[in-house]
Structure 1
Amino acid sequence: MLHSIFMLIVDAVASILAGVMLLRFWMQVVRVRPPQSVGQFVYQLSDWLVKPLRRVMPGGAYDWASLLGAFLIVLLSIIAAVGVESGFDFKTILLLSLVRFFQWIFYGFMATLIIEAIFSWVNPYAPLAPFVRALNEPLLRPLRKIIPLVGGVDLSPLAALILLQIAVRVVTTLLLSVA
């Protein structure tokens, strides 16, 4: 029981930290400036790892240190999960880390789509709505070209959610088949 409580805490902390680092990477990819409160939260929560990693992996067009930081957090959480169990070699741990890393990326995209949908229903003029909309725009733009409005309703977020769920399953299956 203590192990499951420990893993709950490790998973919660790791998912928050890795999620913030993935958000930091994605904000730079889509070139969106976060609102001040979000920016402070993201940068203060991730600078402790991103700044040292930039010495090893200098930035360029993208913030690769943030992406590497997210992967390292995933790797450490997997090591914590299987560290007490025997029989796992480094290749298996690395593969499980890759699976979880890609799952978190896809789940992060799903979360931003759901947040945007909630904003559109509750308060489309909320201060964070334009920020979330900008994060989702690269995902939704290609779908909006294909999927027409139905009765004035944009179904592209629903299509994106379905495609992301398919992507999670495909990537997970492909990565686990390597083992």
Structure 2
Amino acid sequence: MQSFTNGIFFLTRTLFDLYIFIMMLRIILNWVHADMRTPLSQFISKITTPTLKLIRKIVPAVHGIDIGGIIVLLLLEILKFIFLILLSSGGFPSIGGLVVLAFAELLQQLISIFFYSILLFVIFSWITTLINPSLYYFLFQITEPLLRPARRIIPSIAGLDFSPVLVLIFLKFIQMILTQPLLIIGYQMAIGH
């Protein structure tokens, strides 16, 4: 029975995380005003538009920030953690803990998306002839809003751009001092410890 519960736990977490990942990419693409004509952007748009269309009727964007999309992300995270905590402990989690946990998990995933996008962008910039140009452009659109301010702090030295290193260090720092403690606090609040 334990292996069945573990399987359901894994499947629940994976499906929620996959959709949340795609939804978060959509919100990032909207935030950076990305070209939605690339194949990957079109795929993301096709998967997320039905959900976003419903919420945007109720909650419009404010100053270019997709508030409806953020609410969907929070609700999905809260639902995910309700299912996971019910599966693992059998008790219903506290709402306050769920909100903290959902916020921390979303922040963690946002940092991960930017971290790995920058890493891939840097690697792909060394081998541009071997990769799909639309994927490279997609990564450029996601990473440029973070890399541009970093380039003002650390200009290129001998033709080498060190701004990705600065941003990656900053992202890991935020992850360590903010998201990891929030995840622990949120989990403890949610299960009542």
Is TM > 0.5 for Structure 1 vs Structure 2? yes
Paired residues, what number? 179
Q: Does 1:171 align with 2:173?
A: no
Identical-residue share of aligned pairs (%): 23
Give the letter for the 2:6 counterpart: S
Within 5 Å, which residues of 2 pair with 1:24-173?
24-60=26-62, 61-84=64-87, 85=89, 86=91, 88-123=93-128, 126-172=133-179
Cα distance in structure 2, aligned partners of 1:122 and 1:43: 28
**Is the 1:106–1:164 contact (alpha carbons within 8 Å) kept by the matching residues of 2?**
yes
Q: Secondary structure at the match of 1:62?
A: coil
**Is the 1:18–1:71 contact (alpha carbons within 8 Å) kept by the matching residues of 2?**
no
Cα distance in structure 2, aligned partners of 1:89 and 1:144: 43
Give the letter for the 1:31 counterpart: H
> Any unmatched runs of 5+ in structure 1?
none
**Greater Cα shift, 168-177 or 5-14:** 168-177
> Considering only aligned residues, what root-mean-square deviation do their CA atoms show, in Å?
2.1
1:11-50 CA-partner distances (Å, limit 9, x unpaired): 2222221111111111121111133312321122112321
Cα distance in structure 2, aligned partners of 1:98 and 1:127: 31
1:122-172 CA-partner distances (Å, limit 9, x unpaired): 216722212311211110111111113244221211221111111112222
Q: Does 1:23 align with 2:25?
A: yes
In structure 2, the CA distance between the partners of 1:132 and 1:34, relative to structure 1 (3 Å rule), is farther
Return the offset for 1:95: 1.6
Return the offset for 1:62: 2.6
1:65-115 CA-partner distances (Å, limit 9, x unpaired): 222222222111111110231263222222211111111111111121122
> Any unmatched runs of 5+ in structure 2?
none
Cα distance in structure 2, aligned partners of 1:100 and 1:67: 13
Q: Does 1:7 align with 2:14?
A: no
The alignment's TM-score, normalised by the length of structure 1, stands at 0.88
**Is the 1:119–1:126 contact (alpha carbons within 8 Å) kept by the matching residues of 2?**
no
